[in-house]
A = this chain, B = another copy of it.
Amino acid sequence: MAQDGPASMNLPKVAVDWEDTPKAAYSVFESRTAQNCAAYLLPALQSLKDANPRVALLDVGAGHGSISATLARLIPEGHVTAVDINPDVIPRAKVIAESYGATNISFQAGDIHKLPFEDNTFDVVHCHQVLAHGKDQVGALREMLRVTKPGGLVASREGDMDSEIWWPQTPGMQKAHDYARMLITAHGGGGCSSSGRQLLSWALEAGPKRSQITPSYSVWHFTEKEDKERWGGGMLNVALAGHVRERAVKAGVKEEDLDEMREAWKEWIERDDATLIMVQGEVLIRK
């Protein structure tokens, strides 16, 4: 995923393997770093570190932890606690952390709505593309604020699925967008497809004054060949293959539509003029 400012140059290159579902899927998630996904947080993190290098950072919904690990590298005298509701991700997250040479990091299971920590524990509590997937985003932000020290920061970045735009605008790509949106908003019984634009309103509802919140917006885009292979590969090999495809067909999605989406993604990956862009909303909240 390319990013304004920090570019995608350092991402691992993964060619599309039409048969290898998990590798292509993980490639999208594991290419995320502090630099390409939390750029809005980095100047404030640097200031905290300048004041006290032993920054305690909690990364919530960390998944495979590539953002957690790259954050850990930025605070070598500090510590990152990476939690995810699914403890099955921890072994892979440990491998990723090792690949980045991050040793000041620990992993545990934890629910964003009931974080297993005392009040006022962390200097920074961060989540990336987590709130959009659940319900009660305001409650989640309140819980993140609870475990943040006074004077510390809550940082959240959320995609805005409905802001997604792409080129070329083929009928198959429109179907593919509608299908992906359906999968995301249906997942887990919650989900929000306009989280980027709503994030500031959730932050205000969680309690802080407007003056405590710094909102910003950036884009995710997939335009260079390797980025398109990564994103389109995830769509082809996960969203449109295996058990997800089977579930979709059972739920009534037509096989011919799924095939049209596959062809549209393949064309999109190959075309020189193709791109896909999505707005990301960001808030930094000073407790």
Contacts and interface: CB of A to CB of B under 8 A. Distances in A.
Interface string A256-287: 00000000000000001101010100000000
Nearest to A210: B272
B197 A277 contact: yes
Contacts of A216: 2, 4, 221
Contacts of A279: 163, 165, 219, 277, 279
Interface in A203-230: 204, 210, 215-219, 221, 223
Interface residues of A, number: 31
Contact of A197 (B196, B272, B275): B275
Nearest to A224: B215
Contacts of A223: 200, 215, 217
Contact of A165 (B196, B201, B204): B196
A168 B201 contact: yes
6 contacts: A2-B216, A4-B4, A165-B194, A165-B197, A167-B200, A197-B275
